Structure 1
């Protein structure tokens, strides 16, 4: 084979890889709007208000006959969605690896979540149970879809590109969140001019996130390609816990990969809880308006784009592990500052939002790319199902702790400061993981800087 032919083939492979990477970015662009507009901004305060409208004289609602303080219903619903995810994510990951058909599974989970999100338009009056059900379905769906989405990373990016590719994916997501939030802000603040009530404006914002999610999912479905990497495509996946147990048993041969997952499970639980509960804290404890919360989250999104790309550059100099450890220190300081924020002071809440934005994208993007080095070839989706357990599937302890703390104390300040433990413990666990040895144990080449 001639030199020109080899060079042309290499050029074609690079072009095809770039095309897949660009398509891959667009799933972050598609689904991040759900995380931003729905989970972070609108649904928490709105579902809490719906639950309070349905509450009894003592402020309790009674789903399935269980007395729950209305202010805790959203947090408990998030925990329930995560527990459901535990059962479905391992099955999806195993099925994807065994059949090599990730795209149909990605499409099914994405469009189920998009449909549930669009259905939130009908959440009004005292329909708090409908809101909880749609939240559970949408949250579990996005978790499953992210298992499949993340598992493409080792296949579309060589080791030296993964930090940059992962960071760009997060940056795309935050850019989409910013763009949609601007539209949300215009609609919400000028709802009278559009001839709709404030409640209707919120429901339109919720439903539009589902439409956005479904529409832009078409791009990765067109550009990504399936690969069969392991034999045995006809075998059916085990169910829920059995499949998770099988994956963990396989991982026992990679104890350092398990150690990283444990650390990530802990500190990311704190991150996910801050994301999902920040708006409730701002509205209920600090007395901030919905418009203020939208602007604050918009600030987070804008700064998270630069933060993700900036921390990606820091990782090239200091390594992903050290950069993540630095971000956990920043998270701890940010939460402590949040506990001390005065009520009714939006400027200080904006300062806090800026701090969150600068570390949010980078800490998540670098964790994803670091884990991709610890995955044995051919088991990407299965291992990333365990990763997604740590990312979303096991992130029920934080919301549960947040909800219980508020239930017992009636103070959202106590609830928010309780989350510091996740970052402190996560830092200690991650610091003990020798990542270079973990990469070698997984059978992968060790990058020069990690």
Structure 2
């Protein structure tokens, strides 16, 4: 296939630069810490009321995220079907990017009301606004990635996908760290920005950060949205019903998997270890705030360590895959994750948490990048890349829903007997199952003699 121009490839990578700020500030650092701070109360076990039901505050957060991923998993097949039919993946990417950025910015209105000079109260209306905006921004973020990921096979051939995928993640980490530093300055030097009252200093910096993320995401996304290609008329498929066709396409992909045992085994392994990875990433800040009682500055330091270590980590894992093969490298990464879960259960100090963050960061971006490119390389030659990546994304989202709901359910049921520590330990089971299926994938690849995946040394 013809390789896209450097300008187009770099524009594709720039979307990682744009949207990774959301994943860092909203998903991982400031928003989870802010949410924990304003929802904790004197009710038993920090319970809050949402839609008439009592929830442990952090469990509600995880259930809400899980619901967002259920929506994404359901709508992705429909959206990719429409995109294939109209040849406008870029336009759908633009819509969900814009939607996500807007609702991310609207998190500014998720705030407690001052009662006295020293006390505040979070109204049910404000909680509703926060949860709804969080869910809709999350849907925008992940739905846009369905279309972003599906561009990779259209831009470069097999031999370059590992490296370009890693470049995208690397740019994303760099961009997100830059914006995180800007938000960090606002959070820890509020008086320099005119926030003088105690209420303003406690709540306004975080709220301003949410707006900054929305503007950064939307602004830099205009680069890929301008330069990524729109498919030609000849590349578009005839569809009788674009709304049902997406699910028919998933069924078609599943039918094809029956004749592609290696890809099927890889997807099973990806399902299990992805459930663990995404859940750890989404719950890390909550764990630090609730179990270790770490203040916001130490939580941000931990996530910054993860991001900074992840930049060389993604490159290192990409190089390791070239030397030792994709599957062997993934298996080592999963073993590191298993060790991280055990380590988290026995973590009680901020230094231990920093060290754990460094270990997680080393394999975080690399395993995601390598998983994406491995799947891309195992795919059959097809122009219907959106459908195959829709299947990939639906697999990831269903796994994530299972991981988040499992994490929240175990915390609620064992809140007085370990809580989140039990949830983290339970995630180890997901990684162990992923490791087993990767081993089976390795065996299948040896039979198929796929050198790029199993390494040059037998």
TM-score by length of 1: 0.90
The alpha carbon displacement at 1:409 in A equals 1.1
The correspondence for 1:299, drawn from 292, 299, 305, is: 305
The alpha carbon displacement at 1:175 in A equals 0.7
Correspondence 1:72 to 2:59: yes
The alpha carbon displacement at 1:247 in A equals 4.1
The alpha carbon displacement at 1:401 in A equals 1.3
- Cα gap change, 1:403 to 1:448, in 2 (>3 Å): closer
SS at 1:378 equivalent: coil
The correspondence for 1:87, drawn from 62, 74, 77, is: 74
The correspondence for 1:322, drawn from 320, 328, 336, is: 328
Asked if the contact 1:33–1:209 (Cα under 8 Å) also holds between the matched residues in 2, the reply is yes
The correspondence for 1:389, drawn from 387, 394, 397, is: 394
- Cα gap change, 1:19 to 1:438, in 2 (>3 Å): farther
Asked if the contact 1:99–1:234 (Cα under 8 Å) also holds between the matched residues in 2, the reply is no
SS at 2:190 equivalent: coil
In the other structure, the counterpart of 1:359 is 363
SS at 2:238 equivalent: coil
Asked if the contact 1:143–1:393 (Cα under 8 Å) also holds between the matched residues in 2, the reply is no
- Cα gap change, 1:201 to 1:100, in 2 (>3 Å): same
In the other structure, the counterpart of 2:12 is 24
In the other structure, the counterpart of 1:103 is 90
The correspondence for 2:414, drawn from 399, 403, 409, is: 409
In the other structure, the counterpart of 2:170 is 171
Correspondence 1:36 to 2:24: yes
Taking the aligned partners of 1:166 and 1:309, their CA distance within structure 2 comes to 10
Asked if the contact 1:389–1:395 (Cα under 8 Å) also holds between the matched residues in 2, the reply is no
Deviations 1:306-351 (A, max 9, x none): 0001111111100111111100001111121111112xx3222111
Moved more, 279-288 or 251-260: 251-260
Correspondence 1:287 to 2:293: yes
Asked if the contact 1:36–1:177 (Cα under 8 Å) also holds between the matched residues in 2, the reply is yes
Deviations 1:142-197 (A, max 9, x none): 22111111111111111111110001111011111111111121111112332322
Asked if the contact 1:87–1:239 (Cα under 8 Å) also holds between the matched residues in 2, the reply is no
- Cα gap change, 1:246 to 1:160, in 2 (>3 Å): closer
The alpha carbon displacement at 1:235 in A equals 4.8
Consecutive unaligned residues of structure 2, counting only runs of 5 or more, are 113-121, 196-200
Taking the aligned partners of 1:212 and 1:183, their CA distance within structure 2 comes to 11
The 5-angstrom pairing of residues 17-416 of structure 1 reads: 17-53=5-41, 59-125=46-112, 126=122, 127-196=126-195, 197-228=201-232, 229-232=235-238, 235-238=241-244, 244-342=250-348, 345-376=349-380, 377-410=382-415, 411-416=419-424
Taking the aligned partners of 1:25 and 1:393, their CA distance within structure 2 comes to 26
Taking the aligned partners of 1:430 and 1:440, their CA distance within structure 2 comes to 15
Moved more, 247-256 or 291-300: 247-256
SS at 1:396 equivalent: helix
The correspondence for 2:436, drawn from 428, 436, 439, is: 428
Moved more, 129-138 or 115-124: 129-138
- Cα gap change, 1:36 to 1:120, in 2 (>3 Å): same
Asked if the contact 1:282–1:288 (Cα under 8 Å) also holds between the matched residues in 2, the reply is yes
Moved more, 320-329 or 430-439: 430-439
- Cα gap change, 1:220 to 1:295, in 2 (>3 Å): same
In the other structure, the counterpart of 2:116 is none
The alpha carbon displacement at 1:244 in A equals 4.0
**Where do 4+ consecutive residues of structure 1 move more than 6 Å?**
438-441
Correspondence 1:418 to 2:422: no
In the other structure, the counterpart of 2:119 is none
SS at 1:68 equivalent: strand
Consecutive unaligned residues of structure 1, counting only runs of 5 or more, are 1-9
